Amino acid sequence: MIKRRPHVLITGGSRGIGAACAERFAAEGYSVTVLYKSRRGRAEDLAERLRETGADILPICADIRKEEEVRAAVTTANLQFGAVDILVSNAGIASQKLITDVSSEEFRDMLETHVTGLFHAVQAVLPGMIARKRGTIVTISSIWGLTGASCEVAYSTAKAAVIGFTKALAKEVGPSGITVNCVAPGVIDTDMNALLNDEDIASLCDETPLGRIGTAQEVADAVFFLASERSSFITGQVLSPNGGIVI
């Protein structure tokens, strides 16, 4: 029997941390499905680049906030590459505002993207993992989910919820042989931080013991570790690649 490649599904895989995860898993021989919201060009560029290296990669447009779209995407991905072995729940948005300026629609959107989106992705892949009695889920929170950030109350709330979700799910599905862990990055050089000016970056670097912000590849390394056999006895934990800004 031909052994299939293990299959990782990464939400928010068109750019930034998700794209770095896609590159890392593809380089390790995984079949990779990436979900994205609207930037088809970025997802297709990534897919083309990875296919040139011999990787199996499938980009799918699916809004993580919409249950039906996520379910349909997972069905398509399963047909293409076999059941999802690893879920990396990474899709996210950010915004900085005083809490008094945040509309209830913006607040809801933050929670729907980070928390309901995680719920949709987990519900779509979990029955297959439970049936096979194995699987790995890696969620992406943030240092702000650990400590809270001024002017990011909505984001911090959503990211703290991701950590609670991770811990509870780890307890629930551990008996089914499934691990669930969280990566809570510090400040990482992606589009999400494009609004930070040089002064902001310099002051963040000053506050960070390692003296710099992180790269998407460094977060992908942490995700890959938690998805690999090397972390087989680790579940319900939060790993924070953050240069020491939060210790």
Which residues of this chain interact with ligand NDP, rule CB under 6 A? 11-18, 35-39, 42, 63-65, 90-94, 113, 140, 142, 185, 187-188, 190-193
4 neighbors 82 (Cβ within 8 angstroms):
yes
Residue closer to ligand NDP, measured from CB, 190 or 235: 190
Helix (H, G, I), strand (E, B) or coil at 32: strand
181 to 6, 201, 223, 234: CA distances (angstroms):
19, 29, 9, 8
Residue 129: HSE in the Cβ half-sphere, 13 Å Cα cutoff? 28
Residue closer to ligand NDP, measured from CB, 130 or 205: 205
Give catalytic status of residue 36 as yes or no.
no
Q: How far is the CB of 90 from ligand NDP (least distance, A)?
A: 5
Residue closer to ligand NDP, measured from CB, 176 or 237: 237
Q: How far is the CB of 141 from ligand NDP (least distance, A)?
A: 7
Concatenated DSSP letters for 54-91?
T--EEEEE--TT-HHHHHHHHHHHHHHH-S-SEEEE--
Active-site pick, 30, 144, 155, 165: 155
Q: How far is the CB of 35 from ligand NDP (least distance, A)?
A: 6
Q: How far is the CB of 221 from ligand NDP (least distance, A)?
A: 14
Concatenated DSSP letters for 132-156?
HT-EEEEEE--HHHHH--TT-HHHH
- What's the rounded Cα separation, in Å, for the pair 61 and 69? 8
- What's the rounded Cα separation, in Å, for the pair 88 and 111? 18
Residue closer to ligand NDP, measured from CB, 135 or 241: 241
DSSP designation for 9: E
Nearest to 110 by CA among 97, 95, 99: 95
Q: How far is the CB of 213 from ligand NDP (least distance, A)?
A: 7
11 to 121, 217, 242: CA distances (angstroms):
8, 16, 21
Residue closer to ligand NDP, measured from CB, 2 or 15: 15
Active site residues: 155
